[in-house]
Amino acid sequence: VQASVLALALVAGFGPLVGLATHGVERFCPFGGIEALWSVITRQSFVCALGPYNLGLMLALLGLTLLARKAFCAWACPVGTLLEGLARLGGWLRRTGAPGASGHVPGLLAPPRRLDRGLRWLRLPVLVGVLAATAGTGELLFRAFDPYYVLFSAHGHEVRWWSYLVLGVVLTGSLVVPLAWCRYLCPLGGALWPAARAGWLRIARRAETCTGCANCDVACPHGLEVSRAPSVTSGECTLCLECTRACVATGSLRVVPFGLERLRVPAWGLSALLVLATLGGLVLADAMAWASYTREYGSPSPGGQVRTLDLEVEGVRCVDTARRAAEQLAQVPGALKLTAFAADHRLLVEYDAGLTTPQALVKALEAPVWNERSGEFRFNLFHVTRREP
C-alpha cells in the first residue's frame, strides 16, 4: 500500500513534466482540506489552489481515523513512508536490534519519554499558525516548508532554495529520531490526534502469553509503551504493526475493535479500510464542486443567446491566477460570467453568442498579461489545453 501511494504521489507531482498527469500534488493532500475549511464555511469557495479533492479526502481521513487511528500516517502518507525508510536506516546504523525484533524502525536515538511527550505539543502551534496564516492571507504560505510539497511538487512555484534546507533538516532529524517530523511538527498529525485517540481499532496485548520482553516497546517508531497496558489507546498509534512483527510470543499482540476484542483485524483488513476511505473521499469530492473564484461582467443583450465555454487552462492554478484570467476576459464585449475551479485548472465562461465567439474569448485569455509590479507584459501566462465546445 505504501509503495502504491508513493508511486501515485510521484506520478501526480512529476507526471506533468512528461505529460503523464495534468494536476499537481496539492489537490490530493488531505491537510489542504483542513486549510480550506475556513473559506468553504464562510464563502463556499476554495482558497488558493485547493479544491474538492482536498476536502473530500480530509473528510474520508477523519472517518478512517475514527476507525483506525492514524493508520493513514503509516499506511499511506508518502512523507511517512520516506521517513520510515530513514528511521530503518538509522536503526541499521545504530545496530541495536533487540533479539527477535526484526524489521523494527528505532532510528539512531530514542529521546527520553518526558522530552518526547513535551515536544509533541509543538504540533499545536504549528497547526494554529498555518491555519491562521491561510485564513488571513488566502495563500498557502506553508507550502514552502511542507516536506510533502517540496519533495513531490517537482520544484513547485512556491519552493525556494531554503525550502530544500528545511527539508534537509527534517530528513536529518528523522534519521536521528525516528519519524521526528511526524511526531513533533506535522500539523496534520496534530489535527488528527483527538480523532485518533477515540479510534475504534487498537493494538491489544494478551497478558497470558506475553513474556514481558519489551521488544514491542523497542520496535514502536512512535515510542509507545506497548508491553505494559492491556491495549494501546494512544492517539499517536498508527497501527503500523511494527510491534506485532517484533513480538516473540506469536499472537500476543493483535489489532482488535474496541468492545469486540475476540475479533482480530488482519493487515489486509487495514489496507481494505484505506482503499475504501480513499474511494469514499473521491465520491465526496464529486459532490462538492464549489468554485475558487467567480466574476460577473454584465447581462446578455436583449434576445441574446447565453452559451458556456468550458476551458482547461495551463496557468490557472490558484485564486490569484484565476483573478488575472478574469481580467483578460473583462476586455471582451459579450463575456458575461467567469467561474474558476483553480484546483482543476478549469474555467467556465458564460458569453453572449450574439456578441462574441469562443475563439475571441480564447484569444483574449492567451494574450500577453500586463504585470503592474514589473511594468512589463508577460507572455504565455495562460494556455488553453482543452476546450468545449
- Taking the complex as a whole, the smallest distance from the CB of residue 364 to ligand SF4 amounts, in Å, to 55
Residue among 163 and 215 whose Cβ is closer to ligand SF4: 215
All residues at 6 or more sequence positions from 115 whose CB lies less than 8 Å from its CB, including other chains: none
34 binds ligand SF4 (CB under 6 A): no
Residue among 208 and 372 whose Cβ is closer to ligand SF4: 208
How many other CB atoms sit within 10 Å of the CB of residue 346? 20
Q: What is the DSSP string of 130-174?
A: HHHHHHHHSS-GGGGT-HHHHHHSSS-TT--HHHHHHHHHHHHHH
- Taking the complex as a whole, the smallest distance from the CB of residue 103 to ligand SF4 amounts, in Å, to 11
How many other CB atoms sit within 10 Å of the CB of residue 170? 24
277 binds ligand SF4 (CB under 6 A): no
How many other CB atoms sit within 10 Å of the CB of residue 86? 23
76 binds ligand SF4 (CB under 6 A): no
Which residue type is seen at 131?
L
Residue among 253 and 342 whose Cβ is closer to ligand SF4: 253
252 binds ligand SF4 (CB under 6 A): yes
State how far the Cα of 19 lies from the Cα of 278, in Å rounded to an integer. 25
Residue holding cell 505494559? 228
Phi and psi based region of residue 19 (left: phi greater than 0; alpha: psi -120 to 50; beta: remaining): left
Q: Which helix (H) or strand (E) holds 65?
A: helix 52-68
226 binds ligand SF4 (CB under 6 A): yes
Residue among 202 and 345 whose Cβ is closer to ligand SF4: 202
> Which one of 10, 89, 135, 214 is in contact with ligand SF4 (CB under 6 A)?
214
Instruction: Write the binding mask 170 to 209 for ligand SF4: x where contact by CB under 6 A, - elsewhere.
Output: ---------------------------------x-x----
Residue among 69 and 143 whose Cβ is closer to ligand SF4: 69
222 binds ligand SF4 (CB under 6 A): yes
- Name the residues that contact ligand SF4, by CB under 6 A: 203, 205, 210-216, 219-220, 222, 224, 226-227, 232, 237-243, 246-249, 252-253
